[in-house]
Amino acid sequence: MVAHHLVTTKVVLKCPGAVLSSRAAIQHAPCNNTTSPPHMLMHAGFDEEGNTDTSTIKPLVDGGTEGFKGHARVILPGVTPCFECTLWLFPPQTKFPLCTLAETPRTPAHCIEYAHLIQWSQQRSNEEFDTDNEEHMQWVYSNALARAQQYRIEGVTFQLTQGVVKNIIPAIASTNAIISAACVLEVLKLITMCSTGLNNYMMYAGSQGIYTHTVAYERDPQCPVCSAGVELPAPADSTLQQVIDLMLAHPQLGKVLAHPSVSYGAQQLYARGIYEEDTRP
């Protein structure tokens, strides 16, 4: 499923002779929810000095599993790292070299990806592949099976075809139960204050026995999502369009925004959508 994620961050403009604080509502570029972590809205407020107002914090508890591995984490916005701070924790998608797929397939996944990435574009280039279309998936399965038989590779099934194309990792009931219990326990601690909470990330591995480890990851003070603000140097005579261009070119902001809307306090300076004509720079 493709979706847009809305994130609000504070941008502090550093201009000669003036300091201007504004908020930018950032609309992320489309991302695949099956492979990308969610980005959170701002769930904490900050005072004029950039310190977190603890009375405004809305805690988040997150958990996830991947086979026999899993994690649970507690996010206190403005205090502990958010998803954006720790994107490096998420492993990259498995990708196969095209030369391997085309010339030397060795595994069932190679045959499936060959049918999905190469044969589809060659034989059905005028159609967009839809992972939720059963006829499309059956077509990939049939072609992958034929290629596997050609190279005497066993193990291509329709279920595996769905798993490879959709990047589905089989769920293990025991792993789900352990991580779910850890998340519920942290929510109970937050509600009742009955015990010290998790600080702030717990990983679990159950493929060879049972192993857990807790790590206190640090928040990125310049994170464009959960920090009090990101400094943006700009000439004092900059137009709003020039400021938006500076945001898009900024090494931090440019990574998380695609189409920003800008406000200053309660005043909307530029808004995407139905108010764009009225606020266009």
Q: Which of 85, 99, 111, 223 is catalytic?
A: 99
Q: What is the DSSP letter of 213?
A: E
The total of other beta-carbon atoms located within 10 Å of residue 7's CB is: 21
Annotated catalytic, 223? no
- Please, which contacts does 39-43 make with residues 24 or more away whose CB atoms are closer than 8 Å? 39/5, 39/7, 39/83, 39/84, 39/225, 39/256, 40/7, 40/75, 40/77, 40/82, 40/83, 40/225, 40/226, 41/6, 41/7, 41/8, 42/7, 42/8, 42/9, 42/77, 42/225, 42/226, 43/77
49: helix, strand or coil = coil
Residue 94 burial (C-beta neighbours within 10 Å; 0-12, 13-18, 19+): exposed
Which residue type sits at 220?
A: D
The total of other beta-carbon atoms located within 10 Å of residue 151's CB is: 11
d(CA 178, CA 153): 36
Catalytic residue ranges: 99
